[in-house]
A and B are shown apart, each in its own frame.
Chain A
Amino acid sequence: MAEKGVKLFGLWASPFSLRVEWALKLKEVDYEFMDEDLQNKSQELLHYNPITKKIPVLVHNGKPLAESTVIVEYVDEAWPNGYRIMPQDPFERAQARFWARFAEDKCVPAVFNVSINSGEELKKAIKEAQEVLKTLEKALEGKKFFGGETIGYLDIVAGWMPCWLRMIEEIAEITVVDAETLPLMNAWFDNFLEVEVVKRSLPPKDKLYAFNRARREQFLSGQ
């Protein structure tokens, strides 16, 4: 029996499956969202991704793909008519991929460290996060979005930060990104959260805050 359609295995609270949802929504692709319990992963997920066993996993007409940044590029290529996610020029594409790699390798752990620390460690983590964001800011110079006038690949890959970092700032009562410290990044945060597809797909605020508050507490209490 040939499997048809698009399924996305993810987690409602995961920034990584959300970025795939943004890509699918920009392309106006219908998909079924399979919300996973990461403590009790479904047989289907393990069947489709036996290698890393992680979400997100996209299954398109029965064919599975893992690794969110890879999936976003795939969505752009598999539905070539419609919203353009990757730049066309090879050099611009290389730049977008380079900064996406930087955002994953440096910004993800830096923001994670902010979210799990307090006191002196937190101060140190904030400084380090600001440094990597200052570097990433270079890719925004002269532009509203990383993709130019509209959001593109790098916006989608880095786009979890406007939501998650602002939330962590509120929960931990700190400031990491503001108009003084990181003006371009701060403006991009605001602009990104105003994008229609982003606005209507963010997880419910209260639920997400409660989830992340609990997670921070767990880490702080040393669990």
Chain B
Amino acid sequence: MASDDVKLIGAWASPYVMRPRIALNLKGVEYEFLEEKFGSKSELLLKSNPVYKKIPVLLHGGKPICESLIIVQYIDEAWSGHSILPSDPYHRAVARFWGHYIDDKWFPALTGISRAPTDEAKKEAIEQVFAGLKFLEEVLEKSGAGKPFFGGDTIGYIDIALGSHLGWLRATEKLSGLTYLDESKTPLLVCWAEKFSAHEAVKCAMPETDKLVEFAQMLKAKFSAYIDALSPSITLFSSLNYICSL
């Protein structure tokens, strides 16, 4: 088995960094968290991820692994114990599909709301977000069969992929007044969100909603001239995009 030296380069506010943290916690792996300083990129980060220069980066025995869901799969394969991905190839592929969907379709729709140039475009983006949540509600219903998580009795890959966005989702709800996780629309997801956030492996990695709101407001103030030039409305997701570009 590979060296025990495990480091994770990240930042507290990033949903993508949360993912490997949860995975490592689920496997009971001790690691050193190297927090990036706000506004700059460390030499180690630039050396470890020269292609994207982004967090998170997992360093295992000095070898870098990049891209959050790829890191989660690596953690699942490199350490035994709690299985993050299902054991059956078909269910594993379905989990990977939803990981892609969340990152490539749903999340861009979410950040697209604040960037929408017209009210019509904004309405469409919001509808896409809700449609995505409805799909995920159905997945939870089908795969769950009354179980609390997408992974069944325990947290799995889809839980991590979606659950890592809960912090910012809640912060957005506070700032925009729009409720995304609505009990009348997606009751299972509302219940799931609570259980996920309270899970031992998640609690310590989930940023506090109020801290995120504060952070977003700070960024807005800092970059307000730039942001106002782009759009008159609060661009919370400019903040989020900024975090994700770290």
On A, residues with C-beta under 8 Å from B are 51-52, 60, 63, 65-67, 69-71, 73-74, 77-78, 90-91, 93-94, 97-98, 101-102, 135
Contact of A101 with B92 at beta-carbon distance under 8 Å, contacts A52-B105, A70-B100, A90-B77 already known: no
Stretch touching chain A among B61-69, B147-155, B174-182, B209-217:
B61-69
Interface of B is mostly: helix
Residues of B68-100 at the interface with A, using a CB-CB cut-off of 8 Å, are 70-71, 73-74, 77-78, 89-90, 92-94, 96-97, 100
- Bound-state CA distance A183–B73 (Å) is 33
A51 B135 Cβ-Cβ under 8 A = yes
A94 B90 Cβ-Cβ under 8 A = no
On B, residues with C-beta under 8 Å from A are 2, 51, 60, 63, 65-67, 70-71, 73-74, 77-78, 89-90, 92-94, 96-97, 100-101, 105, 135
List 27 A-B pairs, Cβ < 8 Å. Answer: A51-B135, A63-B90, A65-B90, A65-B94, A65-B97, A66-B97, A67-B96, A67-B97, A67-B100, A67-B101, A70-B97, A73-B93, A74-B89, A77-B93, A90-B74, A90-B77, A90-B78, A91-B2, A91-B65, A91-B78, A93-B73, A94-B65, A94-B71, A94-B74, A98-B65, A101-B67, A102-B51
Contacting B73 at CB < 8 Å: which of A51, A66, A71, A97? A97
Chain A residues near B96 (CB-CB < 8 A): 67, 70, 73
Chain B residues near A63 (CB-CB < 8 A): 90
A52 B77 Cβ-Cβ under 8 A = no
